[in-house]
């Protein structure tokens, strides 16, 4: 399949659900490093001003994503995963947000230093985001068709050289096919509706189609399949896999480990605005190093009614306004030692393959001790 970032991709092929590894021979776009790194976040720290003073939402987060890679950001509410996505897109309002330190490099350019006009050109076809709450991201006064067609128009205009726009009929067919691909029944009827007339799952799929039709080089999806049925969820994940095959990079934000284990090449486990563990998905989920990762894995219900209770520690999610000293997970951690309560561990490389921020992980042995 021919892929050219400055040309048109075959829509049908891109949309067909397929599963597979990232392609070897993709054309590199400008500014991309030798190692195909599309996105590199270094030591990102973000504060939010609130009535209780400054609250640190992200603390020294570093992350990389290569071309054609699906990178999972896994964490629970308040872990800062959504803020991370918004920061990449430059959507955080300042104030209240304040980027204290760090850099976000996309295709060789530091996004934090770009002017808003330059950033706008990256939005849509460069970086795109599917938000968790689709009602907030859709325009209430336009029909579904108008909104998807608008994205398509932008996509066509930004190609170099620009591609002639499809006729109205062609556009309609393209959009209908896309919606049908997302298991939307009677897409012709849906096209004429307004966002408020659709169910939550339907809106989410419309939002996804708006993002995918722009064929961004980096797509951030924030819990895109939450609340959708297993069947539709599979279809959407299949579509994402196909996009990855076409050389798109995907940042997949979720709290659902079963989804992450399906489509992510690498995952970052976040807790209280920090990366607790990172590495290749399979190894992280099969042999978690950090106790927090183990908690998450143990929380996935397995077995039948007569199965033993799920082994999870009690305790509430962290309150960012009032974090404990030392390791932020220590109040919920069953293995916490004295040092965990005093000093915060750094995210360190373990055996060259993985990263974990835990005092109890032995760096030489690569094991939890």
Partner 1 sequence: MGNLVEIEHLTVAFRSKRREGLFHSGPSLKALDDVSLTIGENETFGLTGETGSGKSTLAKVLVALYKPTSGTVRFLGREIDYKNRKDIAFLRQNVGIVFQDPVRSLNPSLTVKEVITEALIAAKSIPKKDYDERISFITKLVGVTKDLLPRRPRELSGGQRQRISLARALVVPKRLLVLDEPTSALDVSIQAQVLNTLKKLKSELNMSYLFITHDINVIKYVSHRLGVLFYGRLVEVGDTRTVDTEPKHPYTQSLISHVLTLKKVGLQETVISEHRPAPTGCRYRIVCPAAFERCAAVPSWVNLGDGHLVSCFLYDHQSRMENQALLPTAAGQVGSLRAPPHESS
User: Rule CB under 8 A: which residues touch partner 1?
Assistant: 17, 19, 76-77, 180-181, 183, 185-186, 199-201, 227-235, 237-238, 241, 255-259, 261-263, 285, 295-305, 307, 309-310, 312, 314, 316-317
- Residue 128 vs 225, nearer CB to partner 1: 225
- Residue 127 vs 284, nearer CB to partner 1: 284
In angstroms, give the least distance from the CB of 261 to partner 1: 5
Going through the chain in order, the beta strands assigned E by DSSP cover 37-50, 53-66, 70-74, 97-106, 109-110, 127-130, 218-222, 249-254, 266-271, 274-280, 348-350, 354-356, 361-362, 367-368
- Residue 77 vs 116, nearer CB to partner 1: 77
In angstroms, give the least distance from the CB of 289 to partner 1: 17
Structure tokens at 153: 């128009």
CA-to-CA separations, 32 to 108, 222, 233, 346, 356, in angstroms, rounded: 6, 25, 32, 29, 27
- Residue 159 vs 299, nearer CB to partner 1: 299
Q: Which residues of 74-102 are buried (b: 16+ CB within 10 A; e: fewer)?
A: bbbebbbbbbbbbbbbbebeeeebebeeb
- Residue 165 vs 180, nearer CB to partner 1: 180
- Dist. CA 151–CA 153, nearest whole Å: 5
Q: Which residues of 7-39 are buried (b: 16+ CB within 10 A; e: fewer)?
A: eebebeebbeeeeeebeeebeebeebeeebbbb
In angstroms, give the least distance from the CB of 25 to partner 1: 23
- The SS3 of residue 234 is helix
Phi, psi for 227 (deg, rounded to 5): 85, 0
In angstroms, give the least distance from the CB of 162 to partner 1: 32
In angstroms, give the least distance from the CB of 169 to partner 1: 21
- Residue 1 vs 312, nearer CB to partner 1: 312
In angstroms, give the least distance from the CB of 225 to partner 1: 10
């Amino acid at each position: 399949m021919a892929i050219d970032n400055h040309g048109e991709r075959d829509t049908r092929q891109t949309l067909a659900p397929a599963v597979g590894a990232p392609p070897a021979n993709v054309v590199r776009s400008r500014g991309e490093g030798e190692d195909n790194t599309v996105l590199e976040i270094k030591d990102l720290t973000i504060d939010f001003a609130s009535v209780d003073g400054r609250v640190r939402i992200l603390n020294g987060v570093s992350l990389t994503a290569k071309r054609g890679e699906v990178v999972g950001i896994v964490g629970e509410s308040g872990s800062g995963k959504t803020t991370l996505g918004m920061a990449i897109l430059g959507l955080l309002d300042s104030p209240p947000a304040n980027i204290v330190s760090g850099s976000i490099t996309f295709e060789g350019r530091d996004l934090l230093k770009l002017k808003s006009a330059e950033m706008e050109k990256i939005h849509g076809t460069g970086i795109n985001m599917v938000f968790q709450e689709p009602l907030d991201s859709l325009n209430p006064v336009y029909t579904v068709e108008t909104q998807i067609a608008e994205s398509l128009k932008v996509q066509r205009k930004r190609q170099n050289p620009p591609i002639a726009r499809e006729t109205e009929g062609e556009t309609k067919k393209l959009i209908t096919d896309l919606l049908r691909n997302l298991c939307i029944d009677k897409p012709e009827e849906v096209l004429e509706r307004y966002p408020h007339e659709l169910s939550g799952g339907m809106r989410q799929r419309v939002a996804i189609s708006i993002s995918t039709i722009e064929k961004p080089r980096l797509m951030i999806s924030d819990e895109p399949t939450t609340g959708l049925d297993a069947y539709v969820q599979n279809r959407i994940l299949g579509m994402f896999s196909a996009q990855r095959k076409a050389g798109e990079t995907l940042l997949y934000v979720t709290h659902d480990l079963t989804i992450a284990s399906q489509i992510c090449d690498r995952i970052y486990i976040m807790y209280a605005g920090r990366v607790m563990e990172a590495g290749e998905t399979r190894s992280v989920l099969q042999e978690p190093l950090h106790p927090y990762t183990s908690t998450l894995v143990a929380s996935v219900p397995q077995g039948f009614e007569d199965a033993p209770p799920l082994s999870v520690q009690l305790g509430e999610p962290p309150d960012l306004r009032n974090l404990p000293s030392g390791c932020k997970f220590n109040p919920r951690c069953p293995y916490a030692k004295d040092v965990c309560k005093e000093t915060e561990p750094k995210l360190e490389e373990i055996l060259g393959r993985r990263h974990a921020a835990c005092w109890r992980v032995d760096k030489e042995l690569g094991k939890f001790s």
